[in-house]
Structure 1
Amino acid sequence: MSSTRTARPTPRRTPHRAPLGSVVLRVLGILGAALMLAATPGAAAQAVGLPWSAPGGHLVITYDDGSGHSRTYHVVCGGRTSWTQACRRLREIGGPVGPVAGGELCSMIYGGPQSAEVRGRWAGQVVAESYRRTNGCEVARWSRMVPVLPAPGQESPHRELKG
């Protein structure tokens, strides 16, 4: 008896490939870990040229209640002070609120005579903003900055500078 063997085709093996979603998640995880390591308070301060180890920043606020009483105070976000309400709010909104966009229509609702100047650095960027309560857009802008800026009718919650 003769035996004839029929050769069976060898199944092709494809290399194991991870689903695209898991690859993307791995890459994002690696990048996130690298950013966290690079953003330690000391490294962040050196990277943006801050003279202190405040990963958020240091702002000097000059507030005028509209009746001639002016106060100047600091908001320093870094180290233990990072958990103050003002620092938390600044982190939530990404830093001091910028100016009203040109051409934006604003209601002509006067919010009061208060004004404030905010100067300093936030996340390595120079900050120089003026806040007023002269119309609806400016009132909304001010409101986003509370408690960094005092709410109308309230005293500043921050320590006043002496001298």
Structure 2
Amino acid sequence: MGTGSRNSAVATAALGVLGFVLLAGCAEQPPTAEPTHLEITIRADGNTISDQFILDCNGTKALDSSTLSEAAEACKLIAEKPEIIVQQQSPQAICTEIFGGPERAEITGELAGKSVQSTYSKHNGCAIDRWSRAELLLGQ
């Protein structure tokens, strides 16, 4: 084997090892989740702010900057069921006319990097159901 073919074989082997190392390095890094930052405002009497919370998540993990008491569970919930925040009641929904109380809540911010703005109340049966599904986010 001549010097040229030996150098070529060494270069090919080195490129193979380098490629393997680069791919192995990529496999070790977990995918990054888009951040979630939500500001939650509760109005117990329907008008006056009674509570405010921050929920900061990286995927299903709550960040230390969160002030919501059940932040870890809330981050898992919205990662698995983002519709709790983004899905609004259909105008064609047939709801019982039951008044559940004057409470109102707003959630604004970014959910997995996307802007969200959602309101909650207990003005009828559908709204009460929606509030119940979001109670963990509402500090309840």
The structure with higher relative contact order (CA 8 Å, sep 6+) is 2
Alignment CA distance shift 1:40-1:101 (3 Å): same
Partner of residue 87, structure 1: 75
The alpha carbon displacement at 1:78 in A equals 1.5
Partner of residue 42, structure 2: 63
Q: Which amino acid aligns with 1:72?
A: Q
Supply the distance in 1 between the matched residues of 2:132 and 2:28 (Cα, whole angstroms). 34
2:130 matches 1:137? no
Moved over 6 A (4+): 36-39
Supply the distance in 2 between the matched residues of 1:38 and 1:101 (Cα, whole angstroms). 41
* TM-score with structure 1 setting the length: 0.55
Partner of residue 107, structure 2: 118
Contact 1:58 1:121 in 2 (8 A): yes
The alignment's C-alpha RMSD in Å is 2.6
Supply the distance in 1 between the matched residues of 2:79 and 2:119 (Cα, whole angstroms). 19
Supply the distance in 1 between the matched residues of 2:129 and 2:92 (Cα, whole angstroms). 16
Partner of residue 67, structure 2: none
Q: Which amino acid aligns with 2:74?
A: A
Supply the distance in 2 between the matched residues of 1:89 and 1:137 (Cα, whole angstroms). 20
Partner of residue 139, structure 2: 150
Q: Which amino acid aligns with 2:80?
A: E
More strand by share: 2
Q: Secondary structure of 2:94's partner?
A: coil
Measured against aligned partners, the alpha-carbon deviations of 1:57-93 in whole angstroms (never above 9, x if no partner) come to 1100111111745222101112751671111221231
* TM-score with structure 2 setting the length: 0.64
Contact 2:44 2:104 in 1 (8 A): yes
Identify unmatched segments of 5+ residues in structure 2: 1-26, 64-70
Alignment CA distance shift 1:77-1:128 (3 Å): same
Supply the distance in 1 between the matched residues of 2:73 and 2:105 (Cα, whole angstroms). 18
Identify unmatched segments of 5+ residues in structure 1: 1-35, 46-53, 152-163
The alpha carbon displacement at 1:97 in A equals 4.4
Partner of residue 109, structure 1: 98
- What fraction of aligned residue pairs are identical, expressed as a percent? 31
Work out the number of aligned pairs and report it. 104
Partner of residue 77, structure 1: 57
